[in-house]
Structure 1
């Protein structure tokens, strides 16, 4: 899982499968398959298959199949009554309050180019998020390749977040078709990049086939690392609630040549220390940024427009890829209007040249 930067976790330890390891049988509290790993059989509290993993057999509390597994249909099992994921991992004060609703998926985003979910027959096992009509020809559309939590092939769980990004003139391609979520493989990300480079995304507008962002949540962040490895077309890599699990692979960070960023969920995020360590161990001189919001491991993806994660990501892309001075100030000038610091983010960065 996670390509050359990833690793599998052993089964049978209560946390098996978390962050993309393969699932195993649990003890009294089984988290196998959380964020999309393969489900296992649990004890008294089974959460296998959460966020798109294959459903497992449960005990007294079974949420298998939520957001992509199971048979409830709709947008990957999401019901009109919504849901609240805050009980899955420790949540910070910035974790969105209230349930995540179907209407959150259906919003076209807040950017100048209303966007939506698109399934392209020529790109199997992926879901595309793009402007619903081509932007003006002078607007280049960079491409964000997205890895899901658990390294699963589940194209819709992060839909509200990815639609928000797309509405600002980006094409986002998530691993997995809409619906059930088998475990993903690294070829999914590579296949998406190849599909774009071959000219297949031209109907979305002036797609920039030389500018890719690799990004992902949790285990998907490790996939983002791997997809950026020795690929000069990748201009930015962003890990959300993620970082190397295996410290012996820290040496691979030296192979990253484009800017790297970490968006973490504060001390309650189970990947917080991993992401901080990676930031500190990046090659000397490599531009990098670090943003932490007290949200916990689930971030704010699962709320309207992706919440604060969505807004921070749009500002980041506009700054790094389009040189937007206002967007840069949001990240780098605490006293600027709408700065991330004013919204309770902890921000640091290094090696950026004006």
Structure 2
């Protein structure tokens, strides 16, 4: 199930790629999710991706095109497996996932200031791979559908992607800006998802709520906040299939990246049949929804 990835080399004349590709290698992890796709975990030595971990559907080249999802780790850790249950769950539902960090890495955590650039560099690489005939990922990526998210410090990495015109949506999980930043809020041009716990011991619930209020005040940016009553930092991200936190994140991706308005997408998050809306263990807020 391991596939070759692309990597190095330049395009040739007439827009035809004539360079070389760098093959992705299995990361030695066996993972799965609740979705219909088997999941492959890979790394690649190409400089554009060698600091990330790929979680992707095993079935490539069959005509399906998978949206791109990039993830920042808690503490801006460089361990690409830090949230592997959540990443595998999302990939199993048909997403090409790149989590920051390499498997089991003990390298020092990232400097937050460059976080958005790190995730956007992964987006650059994946989009380029989709155009390379020598890549195992050739024509298997939906390059017009791109999302970012992350846990804690990784959520601020995701926020660093907000102004990029290629983004379709982004969000943060148990995260949020430390103080109001109107220039940042003004740069947002896509729907935003905030997931947190009301008992967050690091203040992320308050930070997330402040972000929600400022984004909502824009009047035109769709934004939702899901706060699990009594949950601490990270909630149940490490539970089987990434827990309820990942269920919310996945439904949001299905809605905005795949146009899914059924019970596995928009219908899970809004409307009369929304399970979280009627569950007293969740506090749900929304603004500017279509």
- Bin the TM-score by the shorter chain: 0.7 to 0.9
Closer, same or farther: CA 136–257 of 1 in aligned 2, 3 Å: same
Rounded to whole Å, the distance in 2 between the matches of 1:164 and 1:135 is: 21
- Alignment of structure 1 residues 139-218 onto 2, 5 Å: 139-179=64-104, 180-184=106-110, 185-186=114-115, 187-199=117-129, 203-204=136-137, 206-218=140-152
1:285-324 Cα offsets, whole Å, 9 max, x none, are 1111111113211221111100111222221111122121
Q: 1:107 to 1:197 in 2, by over 3 A?
A: closer
Question: Could you tell me whether the CA contact under 8 Å between 1:244 and 1:250 is conserved in 2?
Answer: no
Cα pair 1:334 1:340 within 8 Å, conserved: no
Shift of 1:135: 6.8
1:121 to 31, 42, 45: 45
Gap regions ≥5 residues in structure 1: 1-74, 76-104
1: CA distance between counterparts of 2:196 and 2:78? Answer: 22
2:168 is paired with a residue of what secondary structure? Answer: strand
Partner of 2:192: 260
CA distance in 1, matches of 2:273, 2:80: 37
**Aligned equivalent of 1:108:** 32
Shift of 1:200: 5.5
Give, in whole Å, the separation in 2 of the partners of 1:346 and 1:246: 22
Q: CA deviation at 1:342?
A: 4.3
CA–CA separation in structure 2 for the residues paired with 1:250 and 1:292: 23
Separation of aligned partners in 2, 1:157 and 1:181: 13
Whether 1:243 aligns to 2:198 is no
Secondary structure of the residue that 2:60 maps to in structure 1?
coil
Give the alignment's TM-score, normalised by structure 1: 0.65
Runs of 4+ in 1 over 4 A off after TM superposition: none
Asked if 2 retains the 8 angstrom alpha-carbon contact of 1:125 and 1:188, the reply is: no
- Cα shift readout 1:134-189 (whole Å, capped 9, x = no counterpart): 2741x321111111111222211100001000001101111111122422243421
Q: TM-score with structure 2 length normalisation?
A: 0.78
Structure 2 spans left out of the alignment, 5+ residues: 1-26
Number of the residue aligned with 1:335: 273
Instruction: Give the SS at the match of 1:154.
Output: coil
Aligned pair partner of 1:292 in 206, 214, 227: 227
For 2:70 and 2:31, the matched residues in 1 are separated by 21
Q: Show CA shifts across 1:179-217 (max 9, x none).
A: 224222434212201111212596246201222101111
2:162–2:187 CA contact under 8 A, matched in 1: no
1:267 is displaced (CA, Å) by: 3.5
Shift of 1:107: 3.6
| Number of aligned positions between the proteins | 245
- The residue correspondences of 1:297-312 to structure 2 (distance < 5 A) are 297-312=233-248
Could you tell me whether the CA contact under 8 Å between 1:115 and 1:166 is conserved in 2? yes
